[in-house]
Structure 1
């Protein structure tokens, strides 16, 4: 197993990345983390499962997240998020030109990988989206939405607490404690980071019929943060998806009670495509 850190600059921001390469390589996968967190939270369980299946893993911290630069919780715009993802894909493709490339996204990352394959022509072999941020599981206060949309036009970079309850990530108390104590996790979000993601989620649901890439969707029915019914709606509008719902599962299935089953499901799906 070989680990190599790398850094790229995207839209004037230094982006932290890490490449993990197994001894036997069958393909490469770009992993995109969720909002407020960072790529390091996938080392314990997700990355080992991917490398055991012969995939070189490319991870990066998005704008304003983890070890990357930028104001915490803010990004230039949605197009910049797409550009950055494409840059990492191109890096993987340049280094493993003859091997299949996969995408893996959790929550916000799920929103990004699904939108990427819907919006752009590419040669992605398959997509994995866990608890993809397509539709919130709750309705934000109307006053908060009103102010947020106003700020999107006048102060798009101002950041405010997201207000999400960390207890919603997992039914395992220890996982919640680790999340809360992680110094690289933040609870800030700007209008430019939040509203375009919401809009892109609804767009993806409506345009899921355009999907050309085999896609595995995973979501917990007890997720209090992102609505699993939005993922179901995406699945029902496409003939390229496989949907796995985990009864009672919370937002971070890879850190939840059902993590072993969830990871096994992904491994089985990958082996059919490799």
Structure 2
């Protein structure tokens, strides 16, 4: 398998962003991959990206505000509109790199929140959306004191960061993946009120607007996800006419790093193949 991997940078909102893309020898589609909260695009380079590239699917990804190799305060962003704006930059980058190819958005957790909101809020030519464990609603109730403090700080100091309190063991049933997450120097657990509360609101907004989701959408979620509520994905599928949900019984939050990761990626690549179009010829 031949993979052409390149890094790129771009400026937005006074921030230098890090991005990277992977190109197979003969690409038939391109995926814009959006990572989850506290992590970065490089965590997808060992398994997810190779599985896509093997199927002749190019991948373009980036590290979001306050994440990975992108500049700026860890766990903070200017506002939700800025998240949408930057995603739009990367979508256009993918279109420029791979002109004429169908573009798919693939977001995990927070990334799922972003890609679903993007196709609902922004003019686009996206062929389809994949959202794994999309952050539509938390699977737990945060401590009331933390919510009260966060809402107070949202009004007076929206950029201050607090520990997210993420239960790391809930990301995967594979202990080696949990260990890799803990040892990754680019992973962090910081979050500002400006990053957390707008994401929560945007997740609920997607569920409310699901009937307007007019793009083919693939949803994957584990039934034992203790971080993000899989029932919100069930609710979304019930309302969105062009969506398909695959539930993984007993699956944890990062299905692409969980015990059935091969099955999860097979579902993703097959679904992309089905939506590329019968008229495409390599």
CA deviation vs aligned residue, 1:186-231 (integer Å, no higher than 9, x gap)? 0000000000000000000000110111010000000000000011
1:95 shift after superposition: 2.3
Deviations 1:36-94 (A, max 9, x none): 00000001111011112222110100011000011000001000000000000011112
What residue ranges of structure 1 are gaps of 5+ in the alignment?
none
Q: For 1:8-42, what per-residue CA distance to the aligned partner results, in whole angstroms no more than 9, with x for missing partners?
A: 01111000000110001112110000000000000
1:39 pairs with one of 13, 38, 41: 41
Identify the match of residue 147 of structure 1 among 146, 149, 155.
149
For 2:262, what is the secondary structure of its paired residue? helix
Partner of 1:234: 236
1:22 matched to which residue of 2? Answer: 24
Give TM-score, length-normalised by structure 1.
Answer: 0.99
Q: 2:279 is matched with which residue?
A: none
1:267 aligns with 2:269: yes
- Which whole-Å CA distance do the structure 2 matches of 1:104 and 1:54 have between them? 16
Q: 1:125 aligns with which of 124, 127, 130?
A: 127
* TM-fit CA distance, 1:96: 2.0
> How many pairs does the alignment contain?
274
Deviation at 1:253, TM superposition (A): 0.3
Q: 2:15 aligns with which of 10, 13, 16?
A: 13
Q: Specify the alignment match of 1:246 in structure 2.
A: 248
Can you give the 5+ residue segments of structure 2 that lack an aligned partner in the other structure?
277-282
Taking structure 2 as the reference length, the TM-score comes to: 0.96
Query: Secondary structure of the equivalent of 2:149?
Result: helix
4+ long deviations beyond 4 Å: none
Q: Is structure 2 residue 91 aligned with structure 1 residue 61?
A: no
Task: Provide the C-alpha distance between the structure 2 equivalents of 1:132 and 1:141, rounded to a whole number of angstroms.
Answer: 22
Residues 147-197 of structure 1: CA deviation (Å, up to 9, x unaligned): 101101100000000011100000111111110010000000000000000
What CA RMSD, in Å, does the superposition of the two structures yield over aligned residues? Answer: 0.7
Partner of 1:91: 93
Distance (whole Å) between structure 1 residues aligned to residue 15 and residue 33 of structure 2:
19
